[in-house]
Chains A and B, each alone.
Chain A
Amino acid sequence: METEIQTFVKIAAYCGAGIAMGLGAMGAAIGEGYTAAQANLAISRNSGISGDIFKNMLVGQAVAESASIFALVIGILLLFLDASAINILKAAALAGAGLCMGFGAIGSGIGSGYPGGQACSGISRQPMLSSRLTTNMLIGSAVCQTPAIFSMVVALMLIFMDFGEMAVNPTWAALIGAGLSTGLAAIGSGYGGGIAAGASCEGVARQPLSVSNVTTTMLVGQAVAQTPSIFGLLVSFILMFRTFPETGSLGPAIALLGAGLCMGFGGIGPGIGNGMAAEGAVRWVARNTAKAGDLMRTMLVGQAVSQSTAIYAMVVSLVLIFVV
């Protein structure tokens, strides 16, 4: 029995590592490709400053890569960390960690390609603004990594925390659910934050005087677009830290897994939608700075309405955790 548990833990660690790096490689590659495409466009538009554009493209791609570097770190940890466990829960935790980081890296990877691309095309339009655009791009794509950071945190907690004394039966599902909840919910928020950051780089290039208004609107918009992934993080924390009573039946376990899936999938749409709202607001703040206050208020109300579906998902998953 003892060796069997070790085998299962190893299996889970290897599967988790594969999932983490495999899925984690997707997003950043797409984002970086978008940045490179925009850089090509920018160089053909203004080939005199191709050096600046090229430098900016590389910096933007390096930042966009960080989501998949997080996935690489988790993958390597899962492969090489010596996980000696006393029960089967460690296997569930490691699989959950892999799922969490793999899904969590997709959105931020794709999203953070947008500010890079828009900054490149902005530099070709306004060569004098190159350093300001690079700064704006760095802030935008760093904030857009937040959902990936949340997934990395949950993955690290799942890997390193000790779940030894918990009841095996419902807790295995809670740990996998915790990974899925943050990981899936991070997809929408990462992508949404990215398109908002892209619009801000475009806006700054169009109207350099609006930079402080545009950056503020972008930060608030991205922050609100991250709310679904924060709900995912909350559900994950509850699933990880709550002690569930031991049961023989499968029902409670599947309810906990369902709670994670519900919050995870429920967070994708609102994250993208909120990002679109933020993108629109940022784009038009740049063109009409005088109305920045009105635009931000409209954005917030629109985002609140679009977020209500994430709140429904959170209510259902809390009901699944605490009531069922």
Chain B
Amino acid sequence: MGELGKVHQLIIPFWGHNIAVNLEVVMMTWIVIVALVALGLLSARKSSIFPRPMQIAGELFVKQFYGLTEDALNKEMAEKYGPLVCALFMFLLLSNWLGIIPHLEEPTKDLNTPLSLGLMGFVIAHYAGIKSKGFKAYASEYFQPMFFMMPLNVIGELAKIVSISFRLFGNIMGGSIIILVVSYLTYSVVLPPLLNAFFGLFVGTIQAFVFTMLTIVYISVQVK
């Protein structure tokens, strides 16, 4: 149980500061990236008018998520943000599922991954907002309903990053802690796999979807 709350880190001294690299997370993220590239190559290779199973799966998936993006944004913007949405969902889904393989861990279990993805969504949403409304209209929204509400509005926007990233992090890390404790207590062959299926496959899918949907709706709230 000693590993609860401990992380393997590579610490590089750099001009008086220490740069910490979470080795496992980097490795697991690369595994996910390689798997995604392989999947992409498999489904896009030899695309033809008579599609093979992988191509059908890929096309169905992409179409589904373009549709979801189009519901929240408009058609023109969906063309632009569709690839981002698909990539985000696939990355999160594979990351959350990775933990069910023994010896591998979810990259999303480390707060740094959800936090950086949340920051990315935040920056993209605000960029889209400034671009579609113009800077003046964008900035004046912070002074609604009264000018002195500005600091609280800014905190409210920043709290969105906290909530979106901690939601994913809390669910995935929570699941892995519960699995760890139950395996430690029971030595059972039935309970941990069941819990893995629930927290890894089921909760992982739902949380990946929620993260993606929230990124889309944050963009749509800024744009409209």
A230 CB contact (under 8 Å) in B162, B173, B221: B162
| A233 in complex: contacting residue of B2, B156, B166, B221, CB < 8 Å | B166
Known: A149-B174, A150-B174, A156-B181. A223 touches B214 (CB 8 A): yes
Say yes or no: B173 contacts A293, CB within 8 Å. no
Is B44 an interface position by the 8 A CB rule?
no
A315-B214 in contact given A143-B206, A153-B173, A233-B170 (Cβ < 8 Å) = no
User: Taking the complex as formed, is A128 at the interface, i.e. its CB lies under 8 A from any CB of chain B?
Assistant: no
- Write the A133-162 contact mask toward B (1 if CB under 8 angstroms, else 0): 000000100110010011011001100111
A230 shortest CB reach to chain B, Å: 5
B155 lies within 8 A of chain A by Cβ: yes
Shortest Cβ distance from residue B76 to the other chain A in the assembled complex, whole angstroms: 15
Q: Which residues of B contact A153 (CB under 8 A)?
A: 170, 173-174, 177-178
Chain B residue numbers with a CB within 8 Å of A36 are none
Distance in angstroms between the alpha carbons of A297 and B71 in the assembled complex? 11
User: In the complex, A77 Cα to B5 Cα: how many Å?
Assistant: 19
> What is the CA–CA distance of A234 and B114 in the complex, to the nearest angstrom?
14
- A216 lies within 8 A of chain B by Cβ: yes
> Does A219 contact B178, Cβ atoms closer than 8 Å?
no
Q: Which residues of B contact A292 (CB under 8 A)?
A: 71
- Nearest B residue (CB) for A304: B156
Among A54-62, A108-116, A244-252, A305-313, the stretch in contact with B: A305-313
Identify which of A234, A304, A315 contacts B166 (C-beta below 8 A): A234
Q: Are A230 and B156 in contact (CB under 8 A)?
A: no
- Number of B residues, CB within 8 Å of A: 36
Complex Cα–Cα for A140 and B178 (A): 21
- Please determine whether B221 and A300 come into contact, CB atoms closer than 8 angstroms: yes
| Contact of B203 with A307 in the complex, beta carbons under 8 Å | no
- Mark interface residues in B156-177 (1 if CB within 8 Å of A CB, else 0): 1001001100110011011101
CA distance A241 to B4 in the complex (A): 12
B72 at the interface (CB under 8 A from A): yes
Whole-angstrom distance from the CB of B60 to the nearest CB of chain A? 14
Chain A 248-272 interface 0/1 with B at a Cβ cutoff of 8 Å (1 = within): 0000000000000000000000000
Determine the distance from Cα of A224 to Cα of B213 in the docked complex, in whole angstroms. Answer: 11
Interface residue from B162, B167, B175 paired with A223 (Cβ < 8 Å):
B167
Asked if B213 contacts A160 (CB within 8 A), the reply is no
Chain B residues within 8 Å of A156, by CB: 4, 177-178, 181
Q: Is B209 part of the contact surface with A, judged by Cβ < 8 Å?
A: yes
Q: What distance in Å separates the Cβ of A221 from its nearest Cβ neighbour in chain B?
A: 10
Residues on B with C-beta less than 8 A from A15 are none
Interface 0/1 of A266-309, CB less than 8 Å to B: 00000000000000000000000000110011001100100110
B152 within 8 A of A: yes
A234, B203: Cβ atoms under 8 Å? no
Known: A149-B175, A226-B163. 18 other contacts (CB 8 A): A146-B167, A149-B170, A149-B171, A153-B178, A156-B177, A156-B181, A220-B217, A223-B213, A227-B163, A231-B162, A233-B170, A241-B5, A293-B71, A296-B72, A297-B224, A308-B152, A308-B156, A314-B159
Closest 6 CB pairs of A and B: A153-B174, A227-B163, A223-B210, A230-B166, A149-B174, A230-B163
Please name 10 pairs of A and B residues whose Cβ atoms are closer than 8 Å in the assembled complex, sorted by A.
A139-B206, A143-B210, A153-B170, A153-B177, A160-B181, A213-B71, A220-B213, A231-B159, A234-B166, A307-B156
